Amino acid sequence: MPVTTIMNISKNKPICLSRYYLSIIVLFNILFCNNLNAGEIPLSDSTKKQSNLTLIAFYQQGKVLSTNAFVRGNNLQHIPINSFHAISLQLSRQTTGEKLWEQLYDFPRYGVGIYSARFIHFSEIGKPVAIYGMIDIPLFRWKNF
């Protein structure tokens, strides 16, 4: 499996990303994002029922805040934990206004997701996985947005 190395500017340490995982995320976003092909629908097909489900993949790379001695390097390997990588998949549904609450909350989007993070010391910390619910309620809607 080929690995891409990106330099972490803050510590000048290489961060290895698998091209396999990045290509899967890009592929999911291209295949399952309904907004990419919305302009190609002819006018005669505009009355067809569109799918309300959306699958979205996210990738995160970030820093860990040094909040305690374990994270600062007081662990078995005596190496500070300063970065993490995470991936998240969300399956959401866009409401259509068929029910009153959907209209009252300005057509929100809701769904479920799964999140997985990876740290340098996964033997000590573990591999956290979370299942979560999400709701996206628009606070402001303008005429053109």
Q: Of 18-27, 62-71, 76-85, 136-145, which range is least confident?
A: 18-27
Pairing status of strand 109-119 against strand 129-136 = antiparallel
Domain-wise residue ranges, the chain: 52-136
**pTM beyond cutoff 0.75:** no
The token pair that represents 9 in the structure block = 């500017």
User: How many whole angstroms separate alpha carbon 41 and alpha carbon 24?
Assistant: 26
Question: Is residue 8's pLDDT more than 50?
Answer: no
- Give the pLDDT confidence of 58-113 residue by residue, as tens digits: 999 988 888 888 888 888 878 888 888 899 999 999 888 888 888 888 888 899 99
